[in-house]
């Protein structure tokens, strides 16, 4: 019980702090992209020590805390308050099954003592971890829909409608992208998926088409540019949270960054080997490990996650927003067929290998599966570009013409 409470406290505190400082990091990256300086003045309060702007998240948090808690008179009050709570609760609950490292060796530090290794997961040993994650991710859309509906505003309502259509559309290719991971590893336990990659190789290399489909769908699920149509400031002011302010608004903003962090963790765990790094992180099947290996695994996992988050931010400040018809075309005409092709091709390859090499000891069959996956990747993208090219014409369309775009 004490172990679970400590894990939950560290988890929530770490995630809240990470979300605050990733906002600062994104503002600095935006400044770098746009050839600006960015926030660099706020440091230790009541002093002239700036610390490169590291006090900015604290100042922003205090600003939101002391803002007036205003609730517009025209909203559905109960749903209006429930919506941001629902989206933050689901965004945090997902981390119950996401590992933040591997194991901590037995230790004795003052009153704290453990005679057994401790798994760095709040709820270790959940064999349906993937289902748990994506079930809660699906529930999160209700926080957006409730916020748009309860605000009783056309801008908020349109943002909620856009979000529901977008998240449902991209959940399908995302699911198809990760089914290849389940086929290859034979498990839905996230820790076991990492161990499987340590033995077979990272799934980003073994399943490149599934990796690309999953990453694109993750961008859309996190509603990050170029997929931020639910908020689209130029069109909807603030989208589904237009009518929110103060602490209720900051809950939405925290949830947005938590979704990005969650997507980064899943990309790293499912496709980039998790905490595994050859020659550094040791035997993945060892029941006990030393402190050096334990710390190395934690650092490797966190470093990979930070690099993926930096990629999210780089894309946000480099790509323009899609039109809505382009967004839907990409989901239904590009990502969904590619996800199906990836799943069918991998199923054929893995079944053929299971029949001819049940113990998975043959190097020739391993190379055949690897070559087949990359051949599927190139052929699928080539045929997709020929049969159904993306719409790149962003010139203004006359009324009635937009629906005729391929």
Lowest-confidence range among 100-104, 160-164, 373-377?
A: 160-164
Residue 403 pLDDT more than 60? no
CA–CA separation, 246 and 69 (whole Å): 6
Which residues, other chains included, contact 309 with Cβ-Cβ below 8 Å and sequence gap of 6+? 22, 25, 260, 261, 264
Q: How far apart are CA 270 and CA 210, in angstroms?
A: 11
pTM of the model: 0.90
* Burial class of residue 70, CB neighbours in 10 A (0-12, 13-18, 19+): exposed
Which tokens in the block code for residue 173? 């290719």
Query: pLDDT band for position 65 (50/70/90)?
Result: confident
Q: According to the model, what pLDDT value does residue 401 have?
A: 52
Q: In terms of C-beta density within 10 A (0-12 exposed, 13-18 middle, 19 or more buried), how is residue 98 classed?
A: buried
**pLDDT score for 6:** 83
Q: Looking at residue 176, what is its pLDDT?
A: 92
* pLDDT of 404: 44
Determine the pLDDT at residue 275: 93
What is the arithmetic mean of pLDDT over 204-215? Answer: 94
The per-residue pLDDT for 396 is: 63
Higher pLDDT, 375 or 119: 375
Give mean pLDDT, residues 128-138: 89
Average pLDDT over residues 181-195: 92
Write down the pLDDT at residue 379.
94
In whole angstroms, give the CA distance from residue 219 to residue 215. Answer: 6
* Mean local confidence (pLDDT), 53-77: 84
Model confidence at 375: pLDDT above 90: yes
Return the CA Rg of the chain.
23
Residue 391 has pLDDT above 60, yes or no: no
What value does the mean pLDDT take over residues 47-73? 83
pLDDT band at 405 (very low <50, low <70, confident <90, very high): very low
Those residues whose C-beta lies under 8 Å from the C-beta of residue 144, and which sit 6 or more positions away, are: 83, 87, 159, 160, 163, 164, 167, 230, 240
CA–CA separation, 256 vs 88, rounded Å? 9
pLDDT digits (tens, 9 = 90+) for 310-363: 999 999 888 888 877 888 888 888 899 999 999 999 999 988 888 888 877 778
**Averaged pLDDT, 160-177:** 86
Mean per-residue pLDDT of the chain? 85
Confidence of residue 144 (pLDDT cuts 50, 70, 90): confident
Q: Mean per-residue pLDDT for 359-370?
A: 83
Using CB atoms within 10 Å of the CB of residue 47, give its burial: 0 to 12 exposed, 13 to 18 middle, 19+ buried.
exposed
* pLDDT at residue 309 greater than cutoff 50: yes
Mean pLDDT, rounded, for 167-195? 91
Closest to 297 in 3D by CA, of 278, 321, 319:
278
Q: Determine the pLDDT at residue 124.
A: 86
Which pLDDT value is given to residue 406?
A: 40
Q: State yes or no: pLDDT of 276 exceeds 90.
A: yes
- Confidence class for position 241, pLDDT limits 50, 70, 90: confident
Query: Cβ(93)–Cβ(69) under 8 Å?
Result: no
Model confidence at 116: pLDDT above 50: yes
272-297 average pLDDT score: 88
> pLDDT value at position 229?
74
pLDDT tens string 153-165: 888 888 788 888 8
């Amino acid at each position: 019980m004490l172990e679970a409470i400590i894990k939950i406290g560290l988890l929530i505190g770490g995630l809240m702090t990470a979300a605050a400082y990733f906002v600062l990091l994104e503002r600095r990256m935006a400044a770098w992209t746009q050839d600006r300086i960015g926030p660099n003045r706020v440091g230790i309060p009541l002093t002239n020590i700036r610390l490169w702007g590291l006090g900015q998240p604290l100042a922003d948090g205090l600003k939101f805390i002391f803002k007036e808690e205003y609730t517009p008179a025209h909203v559905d009050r109960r749903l209006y308050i429930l919506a941001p709570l629902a989206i933050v609760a689901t965004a945090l609950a997902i981390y119950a099954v996401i590992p933040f490292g591997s194991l901590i060796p037995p230790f004795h530090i003052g009153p704290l003592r453990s005679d057994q290794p401790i798994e760095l997961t709040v709820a270790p040993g959940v064999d349906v971890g993937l289902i748990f994650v994506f079930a809660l991710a699906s529930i999160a859309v209700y926080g957006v829909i409730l916020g748009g509906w309860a605000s009783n505003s056309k801008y908020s309502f349109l943002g909620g409608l856009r979000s529901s259509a977008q998240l449902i559309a991209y959940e399908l290719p995302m699911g198809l992208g990760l089914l290849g991971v389940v086929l290859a590893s034979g498990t839905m336990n996230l820790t076991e998926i990492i161990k499987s990659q340590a033995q077979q190789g990272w799934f980003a290399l073994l399943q490149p088409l599934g990796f690309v489909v999953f990453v694109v769908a993750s961008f859309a699920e996190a509603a990050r540019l170029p997929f931020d149509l639910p908020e689209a400031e130029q069109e909807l002011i603030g989208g589904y949270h237009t009518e929110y302010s103060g602490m209720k608004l900051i809950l939405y903003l925290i949830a947005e960054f938590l979704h990005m962090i969650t997507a980064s963790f899943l990309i790293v765990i499912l496709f980039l080997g998790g905490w595994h790094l050859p020659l550094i992180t040791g035997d993945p099947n060892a029941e006990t490990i030393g402190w050096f290996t334990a710390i190395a695994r934690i650092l490797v996992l966190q470093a990979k996650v930070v690099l993926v988050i930096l990629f999210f931010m780089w894309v946000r400040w480099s790509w323009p927003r899609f039109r809505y018809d382009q967004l839907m075309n990409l989901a239904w005409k590009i990502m969904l067929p590619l996800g199906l092709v990836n799943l069918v091709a991998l199923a054929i390859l893995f079944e053929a290998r299971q029949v001819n090499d049940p113990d998975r000891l043959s190097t020739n069959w391993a190379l055949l599966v690897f070559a087949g996956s990359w051949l599927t990747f190139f052929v699928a993208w080539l045929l997709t570009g020929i049969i159904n090219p993306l719409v790149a014409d962003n010139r203004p369309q006359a009324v009635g013409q937009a629906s005729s775009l391929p």
